[in-house]
C-alpha cells in the first residue's frame, strides 16, 4: 500500500495544474453547503437563545410574531401600544416583576429603547465605560452602536425626527451619552438605551421651555409681564437638550398611567407564577396578550426555514452533478494514461495496481478538498461572529 501511495503522490505532483483545479473545484462544491448549514444553524441557535432567556413577553393584541420580534430585537412596530396602567396591573398580581419597553424612535438609525434599570440587570448588561443613566436626557449605548456612531461618554446624540414634514410634531432631543455597555453579542449591542421618561420626552408627552423670566429674555415671545407672572406666546421654543439649567422646566402633560409602552417583559418568580399570570390574561375580555417567547420564535423559524429545503435539494443536485463530472474526469484520465498503464504492465505490475492507484489519487484529492472546505467554513463562521 505504501508503494501505491507513493506512486499516487508522484502522479499528483506531475499533473499539478490538473490536481489543483480538481481540488479547488471539489472544495468549493463542499464549502457552499457546509457554510450555509453552519450559518443557518448558528443564526437559529442565536434566535432560540435570545428567546430562551426571555420566558414571557406581554403586549397589545395583534400579531404574535411582530410583538416578540419587537420586544426581543427592537425591530418593527407592535400593532397596539400598552399603557403604564398595564405595567402596574401586572406588578399588582404579584406573579412577576414587569420591565416596560418603549422602542419607537431612532437616533441615526439606531433603535432607541426606553426602559428601566431593571432591564440591565435582567439582561446582565455591564458598563464598559462611563456611567449609568442618571437624569432625563441621558442615554447609554450598546457596544456596536457606540462603534458605528463613533461616540463615547460625554458626546451628544440627536434623535431622528419622526416626520421631517410635520412642523407641528415634537422636536428632536439631543441626548447626553453617559456610558457604553460591554459587548454582549446580542441585539442589545446595537441599541441606544434611555429612561422611560426620556422616551416620553422624545414622544412629545413632556417638554421644557426656555427661561423667559430674566431681563435678557426675547421680547418677541413675551405676551405680558408683571411683578409675579410672565406670560409667553406660542412662539416660545421648546428645549431640545436637557441641561442642569432647564431640567426644572421639564414637565409632563397627562396622567402617567396613560403614558405608552410598546411591550412588557414580565419576569416571573417561577414556572407556577408564569402559568398563573398567563392564565389571568386569557379570555375574550383580555386586552393584553402574554406569550411564551421561545415557542413563538420556534414557530417562526419553522415557517421561515422551510426555504432551507430548497438549499438542501440544490446541494444534493450540485453534489450529483459534481460526482458525474468527477467520474467523467476519471474515465478520460484513464484513457489518456493508457500508455502509462501498458508500461507498468510490461514492468511486471499487477493488473489491479492501476485501479488502486486511481483510487488512492481520488482519495487524496477528496481529503485535501474536504480539509480546505472545512477550514474555509470555520473562517466564514468566525468572520460572521465578529461582524
Q: Are 290 and 95 in contact (CB under 8 A)?
A: no
Q: Are 257 and 70 in contact (CB under 8 A)?
A: no
The residue with greater pLDDT, 237 or 11, is: 11
Which of 273, 278, 123 lies closest to 191, judged by CA?
123
Strands (E), the chain: 56-60, 82-83, 96-101, 106-107, 110-115, 127-130, 138-141, 156-158, 174-181, 192-195, 206-207, 222-225, 230-232, 251-252, 260-261, 263-268, 288-292
Q: What is the pLDDT of residue 236?
A: 44
Instruction: Return mean pLDDT, the chain.
Output: 80
The residue with greater pLDDT, 173 or 325, is: 173
The residue with greater pLDDT, 132 or 36, is: 132
- Domain segments of the chain: what residues? 2-47+306-386, 55-301
Cα 113 from Cα 308, distance rounded (Å) = 33
Cα 12 from Cα 26, distance rounded (Å) = 15
Place of cell 419622526: 162
Cα 328 from Cα 19, distance rounded (Å) = 15
Q: Are 172 and 216 in contact (CB under 8 A)?
A: no
| For the chain, percent of residues with pLDDT exceeding 70 | 79
Q: What is the pLDDT of residue 382?
A: 83
Q: Are 106 and 159 in contact (CB under 8 A)?
A: yes
Which of 38, 360, 312, 305 lies closest to 320, judged by CA?
312
Q: What is the pLDDT of residue 213?
A: 52
Cα 184 from Cα 182, distance rounded (Å) = 6
Which of 194, 193, 218, 204 lies closest to 251, judged by CA?
204
Range of weakest confidence among 176-180, 237-241, 273-277, 320-324 = 237-241
For β-strands 192-195 and 110-115, DSSP reports them as: parallel
Place of cell 418593527: 76
* pLDDT tens track for 113-145: 999 999 999 999 999 999 999 888 899 999 999
The residue with greater pLDDT, 172 or 266, is: 266
Q: What is the pLDDT of residue 125?
A: 93
Cα 102 from Cα 261, distance rounded (Å) = 5
Which of 160, 173, 60, 67 lies closest to 105, judged by CA?
160
Computed over its alpha carbons, how large is the radius of gyration of the chain? 32
Q: What is the pLDDT of residue 32?
A: 81
* pLDDT tens track for 334-348: 676 677 666 766 666
pLDDT for residue 239 is more than 60:
no
For 227-235, what is the mean pLDDT? 47
Q: What is the pLDDT of residue 231?
A: 47
Contacts of 155 (CB under 8 A, 6+ apart): 177
* pLDDT tens track for 61-101: 888 899 999 999 998 888 889 999 999 999 999 999 999 99
For 260, phi then psi, to 5°, come to -85, 150
The residue with greater pLDDT, 236 or 379, is: 379
pLDDT band at 232 (very low <50, low <70, confident <90, very high): very low
* pLDDT tens track for 196-210: 999 998 888 876 655
Amino acid at each position: 500500500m505504501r508503494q501505491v501511495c507513493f506512486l499516487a503522490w508522484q502522479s499528483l505532483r506531475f499533473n499539478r495544474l490538473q490536481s489543483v483545479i480538481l481540488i479547488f473545484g471539489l472544495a468549493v462544491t463542499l464549502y457552499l453547503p457546509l457554510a450555509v448549514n453552519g450559518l443557518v444553524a448558528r443564526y437559529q441557535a442565536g434566535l432560540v437563545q435570545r428567546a430562551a432567556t426571555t420566558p414571557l413577553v406581554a403586549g397589545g393584541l395583534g400579531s404574535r410574531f411582530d410583538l416578540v420580534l419587537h420586544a426581543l430585537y427592537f425591530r418593527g412596530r407592535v400593532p397596539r401600544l400598552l399603557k403604564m396602567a398595564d405595567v402596574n396591573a401586572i406588578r399588582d398580581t404579584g406573579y412577576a416583576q414587569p420591565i416596560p419597553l418603549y422602542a419607537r424612535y431612532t437616533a441615526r438609525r439606531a433603535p432607541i429603547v426606553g426602559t428601566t434599570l431593571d432591564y440591565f440587570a435582567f439582561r446582565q448588561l455591564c458598563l464598559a465605560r462611563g456611567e449609568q443613566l442618571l437624569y432625563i436626557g441621558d442615554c447609554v449605548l450598546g457596544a456596536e452602536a457606540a462603534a458605528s456612531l463613533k461616540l463615547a461618554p460625554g458626546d451628544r446624540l440627536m434623535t431622528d425626527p419622526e416626520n421631517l414634514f410635520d412642523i407641528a410634531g415634537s422636536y428632536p432631543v439631543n441626548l447626553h451619552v453617559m456610558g457604553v455597555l460591554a459587548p454582549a453579542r446580542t441585539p442589545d449591542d446595537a441599541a441606544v438605551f434611555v429612561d422611560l421618561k426620556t422616551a416620553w420626552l422624545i414622544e412629545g408627552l413632556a417638554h421644557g421651555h426656555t427661561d423667559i423670566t430674566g431681563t435678557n429674555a426675547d421680547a418677541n415671545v413675551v405676551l405680558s409681564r408683571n411683578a409675579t407672572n410672565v406670560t409667553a406666546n406660542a412662539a416660545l421654543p421648546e428645549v431640545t437638550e436637557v441641561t442642569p439649567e432647564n431640567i426644572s422646566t421639564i414637565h409632563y402633560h397627562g396622567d402617567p398611567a396613560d403614558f405608552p409602552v410598546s411591550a412588557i417583559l414580565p419576569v416571573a418568580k417561577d414556572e407556577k407564577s408564569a402559568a398563573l399570570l398567563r392564565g389571568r390574561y386569557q379570555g375574550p375580555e383580555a386586552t393584553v396578550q402574554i406569550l411564551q417567547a421561545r415557542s413563538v420564535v420556534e414557530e417562526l423559524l419553522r415557517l421561515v426555514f422551510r426555504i432551507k429545503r430548497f438549499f438542501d435539494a440544490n446541494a444534493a443536485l450540485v453534489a450529483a452533478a459534481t460526482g458525474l463530472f468527477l467520474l467523467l474526469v476519471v474515465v478520460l484520465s484513464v484513457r489518456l494514461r493508457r500508455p502509462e498503464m501498458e508500461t507498468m504492465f510490461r514492468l511486471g505490475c499487477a493488473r489491479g495496481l492501476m485501479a488502486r492507484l486511481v483510487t488512492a489519487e481520488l482519495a487524496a484529492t477528496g481529503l485535501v478538498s474536504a480539509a480546505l472546505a472545512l477550514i474555509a467554513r470555520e473562517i466564514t463562521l468566525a468572520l460572521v461572529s465578529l461582524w
